[in-house]
Amino acid sequence: MQVDSCVLVIFGASGDLTRRKLIPAMFEMFCAGLLPREACVLGTARRAKSDDEWREELEPWVREHAAHFDEASWHKFAQHIHYHACDATSDDSYPGLRDRIEEVGKRHGCSGNVLFFLSVAPNLYEPIVECIDRAGMVTEGKRWCSIDPSSRSWQRIIVEKPFGTDAATAATLNRVLGRAFEEEAIYRIDHYLGKEVVQGILAFRFANTIFEPIWNQRYIDNIQITAAETVGVEDRTAFYDGAGAIRDMIQSHLFQILTFVAMEPPTLYSAAHVRSEKIKVIDALRIPQDDRLEEYCALGQYGPEGDQPGYAELEGVAEGSTTETYAALALFMDNWRWAGTPFFLRSGKRLARKSTEVVISFRPPAANLFRKLPGIDGGNGLIPNRIVMEIAPRESIRVRFESKVPGLEFKLDSLEMDSDFHERFKVEEVEAYGPLIIDAMRGDQTLFKHRYEVEGAWAAVMPFLDERSAGLRAGIRGNYAPGSWGPASSDALVARHGAAWNNENAAQPH
Ligand code: BG6
């Protein structure tokens, strides 16, 4: 698919996401030659500044956050960066914004293509989309009367998470977007889908024959998906206190991993086929009964450590806040492939180690023919196989299996095959946003979420978020220590379903 040049219009030019991620990512794509030469960026925010002032402001951020920095490339890329001051929630701003988009688009040769990126506070998504619509800036599909009437240009929009705050607000946002843009022009971004190992799950499962036949409830005992962070909430309380770990990480990022791990084989690697399989996974999630929620969910909030405040003591956290900084869910699917196999999802701040991984734990062999040998437990002595897909900090896939220890005696021990993506492929890690924005420029929605998927994902977690979750939240203040693996209730949760969390440090030799 061809990457079309376009004006990337970033609403929220002075925000953190723009400085830390979007511009460094675009710079990386520019340096890698993946960004069309005519493409350009137009940042908008309220404060007045010139193109040059914005470029100067961005330079240190790019230096710090891009994989590489060199003056010459930056100088060239900076010529593609522009700035336009406006209040994006006021209709009065749009004639001026429209002119500016046309002007920079013409200057670089973008043929009327516009890719909007909502990198603003979520409460501004709807007013901005409505303004774009009223200003008649979306000419693709429904109304062909282009910004540049001589060309059949496209206009697309990338919407950052959080996509709504619950099932109802997500549905409303989808309706507002749907009034302005076709579904094919809406790109609900999740940077986890830009991660190599996450995409690698599809290759692992569907480009091989040896794993797929055993990828089901008959052979797999349980699946764990972890996104553990050592950082705390710090200065993000204004956002986080209204969100929490389920909204911030689980409903969005971890569900993306879940769909890739659990989906049926799509007929084709295409947006339509992959996305429809993801929707089916979300549809199959069982919603627990209101009076049994604690069998499926454990929540926590980190306490203080030394002179470091706990979450509850941070500035900006509401008095008596029950927002979870840790969440663990046990999810079950009502379908033939996964009936009875629990999917344990957990994510938390200030945990023992940064670790993002998927652990597939297989059932032990049906019979233990080695049971009479000395040193081997005659009961369930064989260690079950395990596949670990490590997404961060390393990018690797490891397969653990049992082996005979060389020697006269027949003894068993575990071996682990370890494939490190960097060692093997020698590719430089790039910011996940870059390739995703390039996908949006070429009209490839495979790695973006469909509206049904987003709405379904909210429906699946609502019992753990709305008033039904009050019991789960009672007394969570300080129920886990910074540097630990979360509250005791999380261990009890997986134990109830016959499992234990994998907290092994992959970096350690086994
Ligand atoms: C963001 C969350 O979406 O993802 C943050 O808002 C979180 O709270 C971050 O820290 C984690 O991303 P990554 O790529 O570091 O795992």
The answer to whether the beta carbons of residues 229 and 454 sit under 8 Å apart is no
- Residue closest by Cα to atom 4 of ligand 1: 249
The answer to whether the beta carbons of residues 114 and 9 sit under 8 Å apart is yes
Give the pLDDT of residue 367: 86
The answer to whether the beta carbons of residues 201 and 261 sit under 8 Å apart is yes
| CB-count burial class (<10 Å; 0-12, 13-18, 19+) for 267 | exposed
Tokens standing for residue 377: 């437990």
User: Cα of 234 to ligand 1 centre, how many Å?
Assistant: 13
User: End-to-end CA distance of the chain, in Å?
Assistant: 44
The answer to whether the beta carbons of residues 330 and 493 sit under 8 Å apart is yes
User: Cα of 249 to ligand 1 centre, how many Å?
Assistant: 7
Tokens standing for residue 110: 């973008």
Strands 355-362 and 7-11, by their bridges, are: unpaired
Would you call 273 a catalytic residue per the annotation? no
The answer to whether the CB of 431 is under 6 A from ligand 1 is: no
Give the pLDDT of residue 508: 45
Q: Which mean pLDDT values do the consecutive 10-residue runs of the chain (510 residues) have?
A: 92 95 97 94 97 98 95 97 98 97 93 94 96 90 46 89 94 97 96 95 98 98 98 94 97 98 98 98 96 96 96 97 98 97 98 97 90 68 92 96 91 93 88 95 96 96 97 97 98 97 66
Amino acid residing at 377: D
Give the pLDDT of residue 2: 84
List 82, 108, 191, 253, catalytic entry = 253
Helix (H, G, I), strand (E, B) or coil at 191: helix
User: What gap in Å lies between CA 328 and CA 297, rounded to an integer?
Assistant: 6
User: Cα of 349 to ligand 1 centre, how many Å?
Assistant: 10
Closest of 103, 95, 169, 102 to residue 132, by C-alpha: 95
The answer to whether the CB of 256 is under 6 A from ligand 1 is: no
Question: Would you say the C-alpha torsion 272, 274, 275, 280 has a positive or negative sign?
Answer: positive
The answer to whether the CB of 357 is under 6 A from ligand 1 is: no
**Torsion angle of alpha carbons 232, 238, 239, 245, nearest 10°?**
40
Domains, the chain: 7-160 (3.40.50.720), 193-496 (3.30.360.10)
Give the pLDDT of residue 373: 80
The answer to whether the beta carbons of residues 263 and 204 sit under 8 Å apart is no
User: Cα of 227 to ligand 1 centre, how many Å?
Assistant: 9
